[in-house]
């Protein structure tokens, strides 16, 4: 199973095509697929449970870096997700070694190499 966390208004226009291209599910699919049991309005818990379940099952996470200022995203407060959902998602992934190892990052539709990710500052924090 592939999972695409890039799913809020700042990236909504690219979510559907990106998820379709890589066979990923989106946050709209998580509960239906049984990936989380969080109550409505608790995206933080849904996100954590979904990533835990995806990685435990050997799945991969597809993360679209398009339209994201990576330096700014990584420099923000990882506890604040309001108005910075995708940035918050990236910060959560880079702070969890299991999630980070299970994530394929894409920029302009191209999977990024470890060296490219390191140059962008994407590494375990």
Q: What is the pLDDT of residues 93-119, one digit of tens each?
A: 999 999 999 999 999 999 999 999 999
Measured CA distances, 86 to 34, 53, 56, 94 (Å): 22, 20, 22, 13
2 pLDDT band, cuts 50/70/90, is low
Q: Per residue in 39-87, pLDDT tens? A: 888 999 999 999 999 999 999 999 999 989 999 999 988 888 888 889 9
Q: Looking at the predicted structure, is the pLDDT value of residue 25 above 90?
A: no
Which pTM was predicted?
0.83
């Amino acid at each position: 199973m592939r999972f695409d966390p890039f799913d809020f208004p700042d990236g909504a226009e690219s979510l559907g095509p990106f998820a379709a291209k890589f066979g990923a599910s989106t946050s709209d699919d998580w509960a239906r697929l049984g990936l989380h049991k969080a109550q409505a309005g608790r995206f933080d818990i849904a996100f954590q449970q979904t990533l835990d379940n995806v990685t435990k099952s050997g799945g991969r996470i597809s993360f679209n870096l398009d339209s994201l200022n990576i330096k700014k995203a990584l420099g923000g407060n990882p506890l604040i997700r309001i108005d910075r959902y995708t940035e918050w998602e990236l910060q959560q992934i880079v702070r969890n070694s299991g999630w980070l190892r299970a994530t394929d990052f894409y920029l302009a539709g191209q999977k990024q190499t470890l060296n490219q990710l390191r140059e962008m500052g994407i590494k375990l924090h």
